[in-house]
Structure 1
Amino acid sequence: MAEDLLRVEGLRTVFRNSSGLIRAVDGIDLSVPRGRTLGIVGESGCGKSMLSLSIMRLVPAPGRITEGRVLLEGRDLLKLSTAEMRQVRGGQIAMIFQEPMTSLNPVHSVGRQITEAMRVHSPKESAGALKEQAIAALKRVRIPSPERRFDEYPHQLSGGMRQRVMIAMALACRPRLLIADEPTTALDVTVQAQILDLLRELQEETGMSIILITHDLGVVAEMADEVAVLYAGKVAERAPARALFEDPQHPYTLGLLGSVPRLDEERDRLLAIEGAVPPPFAFPEGCRFHPRCPFAIGPCREGQPPLREIAPGHHAACIRAPVEASLALEDAA
């Protein structure tokens, strides 16, 4: 087993407004081994992006982290000062944010934005040296004519090129951990494949770990070594990728997988998960998925099921697990 680079233990991030206490991240535990990829999946509103912002300590006000630990190589990031955390961001953990067109500053050239990130961690480097390193970073992410692109602005680049610039910026200081939040959203399938191939090549080249946040189960199947399924601010299921796809154990995971067409199966209709993710200020009592779950029974409404190990390395927060996945899919249909 590879040593863990990152461990998240009991992490809680909350907001308070007129609706009450909003538990955006509610007691999450996960780990990322060195050189491996953790996929995080779930519907919109399940807490995926807020989890990544919590790890980076970029939770927007009035949100705050109230409990837990975020251990990077044994060092608790939640106990660092603001100045110490600023050195961790970019240098040890980097993040590719959603929507590169809005994440990149439209009034600055892409080269200036990359060198600005590098200057924070290499303040003694000359402007010329930083420019050379930035151009090398653009080359590394397969951007053609990087010397010319260095002086161009985000609006002059295609969506795929902007995403490559975001990756170049994130990897400029060679971080140990890369958090990629929906890195292929709004890209056509050929560009998606190029971006995923690029991330895989860079991981092999640098040995970095990756947290890959996405809605796309196909991307997870292709990239991830382990998968954490989030629902309503909690981990519903966590397992090695192969085990999760071959033998899902939480009804929510079954629903997600059942809604995706497969070439190796004939099915009259795809599954649909009824209802919607509850708002974080109005989570139901008991299992948070039970109002939408076709397998719910009385005890599901009485208490939150713990995330427990039901097979080696395979955890599920469901009182009915383990189940035979194929039979459960048939029952749900």
Structure 2
Amino acid sequence: MSEPLLRIEGLRTVFRTSGGDVPAVDGVSLEVHRGRTLGIVGESGCGKSVLSLSVMRLVAHPGRIAAGRVMLGERDLASLSMAEMRQVRGRDIAMIFQEPMTSLNPVHSVGFQITEAIRAHDPRASNAELRNRGIEALKRVRIPSPERRFDEYPHQLSGGMRQRVMIAMALACSPKLLIADEPTTALDVTVQAQILDLLRELQAETGMAIILITHDLGVIAEMADEVAVMYSGKVVERTNARALFEDPQHPYTLGLLGSIPRLDEDRENLLAIRGTVPPPFNLPPGCRFNPRCPFAIEACRAEIPPLRSIIPGHEVACICAPVEASVAA
């Protein structure tokens, strides 16, 4: 495989509190290649969105990147000035944010918001050219009557259309990497399928890389080439999508998969992972999943297990891995 487009190396993002720095992302290393989709999955509170905002350098105060590198080609985004980073956003990396109704500005038209990135990166573009490019962006995401929609406001659009507008905004400057943070949340199943199909088609047309952040393993199965499972700010399992579903190795991944209903199994009750993700200011000793893990032993409380390779291309942060097939079943 060619050199990765983006390499995240030992990234640590913390938030300053009265009790000291609290880690939201703690030593994460990932990479994504051109034309490929990296899925990042985990429960709410595991650090997925903070990771994406760290890549975009959009973590608000009192958050900050405390360590690590975010390499886009040969440039470390974590070391760029804000002025330099503004030249990267939209042109090289773009992001689809959660909740399009709150991410879109209600007092500006759809067309104004789509062309904002174009104006920033091409200040010489005329108003007529901006309008034409904005309408083309709406056509690209399959919005009907794009000339009319260009002048409308977010409240005049359905949820699915607003999500398409967010995609049009992100792709307006043809970025090399698209970060999609829960792009199908709160959409019905039919619209969700349309949005995922659209992302696949646009990726095939442009060759862009995608980082897909979600809690929905069904979306991961449909879209991702590689998958990273996050828990409490750390990556606990990393492999290709097929291996994750056929041979999951971390107990947390097993729990996530076990909570999904399956047509080929006759179960009265779904499996559930007891407890909740620990708050970053009160982390348990050792493996952060050990209080919820049915396989935990005393050694799990002694130290945080490193991410290690159990077979080529499959890394797990668990001292009990590999899991026997009979246990995984």
Q: TM-score range by the shorter chain?
A: over 0.9
Deviations 1:34-82 (A, max 9, x none): 1100000000000000000000000010011010000011211112121
Tell me which amino acid in the other structure corresponds to 2:272.
Answer: A
- C-alpha distance in 2 between matches for 1:132 and 1:39: 33
Tell me which amino acid in the other structure corresponds to 1:182.
Answer: E
Task: Check conservation: 1:101, 1:154, Cα contact below 8 A.
Answer: yes
- C-alpha distance in 2 between matches for 1:263 and 1:239: 25
Tell me the CA shift for residue 20 of structure 1: 3.5
- C-alpha distance in 2 between matches for 1:129 and 1:27: 44
- C-alpha distance in 1 between matches for 2:264 and 2:207: 34
Match of 2:97 in 1: 97
Tell me the CA shift for residue 326 of structure 1: 4.2
Match of 1:235 in 2: 235
Match of 2:40 in 1: 40
SS in 2 for 1:4: coil
Task: Using structure 2 for the length normalisation, give the TM-score.
Answer: 0.98
Match of 1:58 in 2: 58
Task: Check conservation: 1:310, 1:321, Cα contact below 8 A.
Answer: yes
Task: Check conservation: 2:39, 2:225, Cα contact below 8 A.
Answer: yes
Match of 1:281 in 2: 281
Match of 1:119 in 2: 119
- C-alpha distance in 1 between matches for 2:179 and 2:146: 24
Structure 1 unaligned segments of length 5 or more: list them.
none
Pairwise CA RMSD: 0.9
SS in 2 for 1:306: coil
Task: Check conservation: 2:248, 2:328, Cα contact below 8 A.
Answer: no
Task: Check conservation: 1:11, 1:65, Cα contact below 8 A.
Answer: yes
Match of 1:304 in 2: 304
SS in 2 for 1:201: helix
SS in 1 for 2:243: helix
Structure 1 position 318 matched with structure 2 position 283: no
Match of 1:82 in 2: 82
- C-alpha distance in 1 between matches for 2:252 and 2:20: 26
- C-alpha distance in 1 between matches for 2:326 and 2:275: 23
Tell me the CA shift for residue 267 of structure 1: 2.9
SS in 2 for 1:38: strand
- C-alpha distance in 2 between matches for 1:267 and 1:316: 28
Deviations 1:156-181 (A, max 9, x none): 00000000000000000000000000
SS in 2 for 1:300: helix
Task: Using structure 1 for the length normalisation, give the TM-score.
Answer: 0.97
- C-alpha distance in 2 between matches for 1:279 and 1:85: 30
Structure 2 unaligned segments of length 5 or more: list them.
none
Structure 1 position 206 matched with structure 2 position 201: no
Match of 1:136 in 2: 136
Tell me the CA shift for residue 266 of structure 1: 2.7
- C-alpha distance in 1 between matches for 2:313 and 2:325: 17
Task: Check conservation: 1:13, 1:67, Cα contact below 8 A.
Answer: yes
Tell me which amino acid in the other structure corresponds to 1:297.
Answer: I
Deviations 1:181-200 (A, max 9, x none): 00000000000000000000
SS in 2 for 1:249: coil
Task: Check conservation: 2:232, 2:278, Cα contact below 8 A.
Answer: yes
Match of 2:72 in 1: 72
Task: Check conservation: 1:248, 1:325, Cα contact below 8 A.
Answer: no
- C-alpha distance in 2 between matches for 1:34 and 1:158: 32
Task: Check conservation: 2:40, 2:227, Cα contact below 8 A.
Answer: yes
Tell me the CA shift for residue 117 of structure 1: 1.6
Tell me the CA shift for residue 18 of structure 1: 2.7
Task: Check conservation: 1:247, 1:324, Cα contact below 8 A.
Answer: no
Task: Check conservation: 1:179, 1:212, Cα contact below 8 A.
Answer: yes
Tell me the CA shift for residue 19 of structure 1: 4.2
Moved over 4 A (4+): none
Tell me the CA shift for residue 118 of structure 1: 1.1
Tell me which amino acid in the other structure corresponds to 1:137.
Answer: A
Task: Check conservation: 2:96, 2:183, Cα contact below 8 A.
Answer: yes
- C-alpha distance in 1 between matches for 2:73 and 2:35: 13
- C-alpha distance in 2 between matches for 1:82 and 1:328: 47
SS in 1 for 2:43: coil
Match of 1:219 in 2: 219
SS in 2 for 1:133: helix
Any residues of structure 2 matched to 1:145-184 within 5 Å, and which?
A: 145-184=145-184
